Chain A
């Protein structure tokens, strides 16, 4: 994975000192809170309901064991012994003191990490396919391009006071595991017929109160013009994005109001101009970065097993519980690897009844140790708020599972109804209208108790505690949105969303429910699905085939 050189390190160190200076001026009263706010936000420091929240960037969701251990240390030293992994592949600490913030940032800098631009109206942490460099189906590893974008966007002098926040996502396969088209800019790295590498640019997607699927603006940007094209998009947005209304300020509104064709025209015009100015980094820089992402030295297939061999060996060992323990986890939580004898293994942060995305410091250390011993010192944070060991030898799976199981990290529920994405909600967030976490906890408990999780199979449930949609409810097969109705929490149910390559936005079923009611409603919806599903159909397939009516009928009829 990428390693800082002395330049990268100096940039992060300088940023820590700059923030220390800003915090000092704030404490001396020389910066007003209004003046300080955007500065602390650009260093990841939010003011929440109860305390400051620090959001730490994990670029494209990749980190090593030492970094994960540093995150554990920060959780213990400055917080309450845990952290919360987010849909932006970041980690958040919910109980940080302002006077500790600069020290926490300095600790991060020691392990090549930072909280730069994890908030504020600037280019945020770049996300990517969490299976990058491992997935069997990718054209290339998307992370070198994400790292090139990270460097370009860090402290960008022109784009630090944009109309609103700005999120990039980079993938490199036909499958979309990163909600690419629901980003301000989604980039898919592709190869053309001539075998040249380029980038598809999807511009103007997003969730929030006005969800939009990004249209394709350019189907092939030559890879040595990637940064120039991104700069052109950002300049058009910086100049013409709406600033009169915070809720209409994202680029999706500009693209929607201009239309994709006019938006493309303006971007292309700026692009042609910027090509003549010359803003692209030297070509060798991408090659330099890519070297850090060279595949690790995998063992020969003869030194591992395939999944059939694994089953044969494990089925004879009762301690592994092939049918309902280890085997279930292997079937649910592993993902095909490009290298024979290997898989990627998902570490669920969704134990039944737990808080989605939370991990204790001890759990982080256990995961770090496993990464060091069994996954070439590499870890990923998934946008589904889980962790991932990207490169695991199939023969090592039994020992990994046993360690995870002992740490409460082996829930076999990837992409099931227990694998809920939920925002922090009213338990932490000052914007929320309703609680998300307790609802997620109760739903996962309910489905685990009735044994229905496995029966239902793939079903992506996403919960947001307000219309800002941090819990991605628009993109859930089932989405739940918490609203405030005359002072009481009320939950709107929606169906049919997807963040994958079959991207779609969910539609509201009808009137909302109270907390008990929405849990019952989710069960009703799965009843309808189980009754109607044809062989091999996922929930979303059945919904698309039969439409909303049968669900409405069952819910309100």
Chain B
């Protein structure tokens, strides 16, 4: 796995993490490589990749990085939800052009770690993660929606 060091982010680059387990520091491979190899435990999804190709391998994966080369390309949000909907419980890391104003949505789609290209202001980020007390729609997080709360017994 020669390519691995160049491909993924290291734990040092992770600025925000919402998990208690030790971050894995394994080689990260492409989706294609992951499907070909039987031992890869970390994979990186690019915007054009089909996240569903990974579904047969979720048991052995400890880290999935989803790359956002540009914050305006929202395909990674769907990739994240698809993995979580398939009960992937490993680390799901948003990497690349990850900015303050996308953090709360990413969190809702199941990302639990963030390795932005450029480090973000801690105060702005804390505010962003806490922006929404309530949410309208069901997503990957298990938050009760506004509609759920309205109709609680």
Spot the interface stretch: B11-19, B58-66, B75-83.
B75-83
Please determine whether A38 and B74 come into contact, CB atoms closer than 8 angstroms: no
Does residue A121 face the partner (Cβ distance < 8 Å to B)?
Answer: yes
| Contacts A14-B133, A151-B136; A238 near B78 (Cβ below 8 A) | yes
Q: Is B134 an interface residue (CB 8 A)?
A: yes
- Min CB gap A264→B, angstroms: 19
Q: Which residues of B contact A151 (CB under 8 A)?
A: 136-137, 146-147
Asked if B72 is an interface residue, CB under 8 A from chain A, the answer is: yes
9 contacts between A and B (CB under 8 A): A7-B149, A10-B134, A157-B105, A158-B139, A161-B71, A238-B75, A273-B85, A281-B145, A288-B151
- Is chain A's interface secondary structure helix, strand, loop, or mixed overall? helix
Residues 91-127 (chain B) with a chain A CB within 8 angstroms: 99-102, 104-106, 108-109, 121, 124, 127
With a cutoff of 8 Å between Cβ atoms, the chain B residues found around residue A18 in the complex are: 131
Contacts of B73 in A (CB 8 A): 161, 243
Measured between beta carbons, the chain A residues less than 8 angstroms from B151 are 282, 284-285, 288
User: Does A278 sit within 8 A of B, measured CB to CB?
Assistant: yes
Central interface residue in A35, A160, A281, A285, by most chain B CB within 10 Å: A281
A39 interface residue (CB < 8 Å to B): yes
- Is there contact, CB below 8 Å, between A235 and B132? no
Measured CA separation A406–B71 after assembly (Å): 52
Within the complex, which residue of A10, A22, A158 is in contact with B101, where a contact is CB–CB below 8 Å? Answer: A22
Instruction: Check if B147 sits within 8 Å of A157, measured CB to CB.
Output: no
Instruction: Decide if B74 touches A161 in the complex (CB within 8 Å).
Output: yes
Q: Would you call B85 and A39 a contact (CB within 8 A)?
A: no
CA distance A7 to B152 in the complex (A): 14
Interface residues in A1-48 by Cβ distance below 8 A to B read 5, 7-8, 10-11, 14, 18, 21-22, 25, 30, 35, 38-39
Assuming the A-B contacts A157-B77, A158-B81, A160-B105, are A279 and B137 also in contact, with contact meaning beta carbons closer than 8 angstroms in the complex? yes
Which residues from A are CB-within-8-Å of B24?
Answer: none
Q: Is B5 among interface residues, defined by CB-CB distance under 8 A?
A: no
Judged by a CB distance under 8 angstroms, whether A159 is at the interface is yes
New A-B pairs, 13, CB < 8 Å, besides A7-B146, A11-B146, A156-B137:
A7-B149, A14-B131, A14-B133, A35-B99, A121-B74, A155-B136, A157-B106, A161-B102, A243-B47, A243-B75, A281-B137, A281-B145, A288-B150
Enumerate chain B residues within 8 angstroms of A35, measured Cβ to Cβ. Answer: 71, 99, 101
Q: Which residues of A contact B146 (CB under 8 A)?
A: 7-8, 11, 151
Q: Contact at B74–A162, with CB atoms within 8 Å?
A: yes
B99-A157 in contact (CB<8A): no
Q: When each residue 145-164 of chain A gets 1 if its CB lies under 8 Å from chain B and 0 otherwise, what string results?
A: 00000011011111111100
With the chains together, A529 CA to B7 CA distance in Å?
A: 67
A279 touches B150 (CB 8 A): no
B-contacting residues, A274-290, CB 8 Å:
277-282, 284-285, 288
How many A-B contacts are there with CB distance less than 8 Å? Answer: 105
**A300: Cβ under 8 A from any B Cβ:** no
Q: A162-B74, A278-B138 are in contact. Are A155 and B85 (CB under 8 A)?
A: no
Q: Bound state CA distance, A273 and B127, in angstroms?
A: 34
Interface extent on B, as a size class? Answer: 35 or more
Q: Which of B50, B104, B150 gathers the greatest number of chain A CB atoms within 10 Å?
A: B150
Note all chain B residues with C-beta closer than 8 A to A22: 101
B135 to A: closest C-beta gap in Å: 7
Partner of A30, one of B85, B121, B132, B133: B121
Chain B proximity of A149: nearest CB distance (Å): 11
User: Does any Cβ of B come within 8 Å of A544's Cβ?
Assistant: no
Asked if B32 CB lies within 8 Å of chain A CBs, one says: no
Smallest Cβ-Cβ distance to A237: which chain B residue? B78
A239 within 8 A of B: yes
A-side contacts of B124, CB under 8 Å? 21, 25, 30
Q: Within the complex, what minimum Cβ distance (angstroms) separates A486 from chain B?
A: 34
Q: Which of A53-77 contact B (CB under 8 A)?
A: none
Report the bound CA distance from A243 to B48 in whole Å: 10
A14 vs B127: C-alpha distance in the bound complex, in angstroms?
A: 11
Given contacts A22-B101, A151-B136, A156-B137, contact A282 B74 (CB under 8 A): no
- Given A121-B72, A273-B85: A282 touches B147 (CB 8 Å cut-off): yes
| Complex Cα gap A161–B109 (Å) | 13
Minimal Cβ-Cβ distance residue in B for A231: B137
Mask for B19-32, Cβ within 8 A of A = 1, else 0? Answer: 00000000000000
Residue of A nearest to B121 (CB): A30
Tell me which of A7, A158, A285 contacts B109 (CB under 8 A).
A158
Residues of A within 8 A of B104 (CB): 157
- Chain B: minimal CB distance from A529 (Å): 47
For residue A158, which residues in chain B have a CB less than 8 angstroms away from its CB? Answer: 74, 77-78, 81, 105, 109, 139
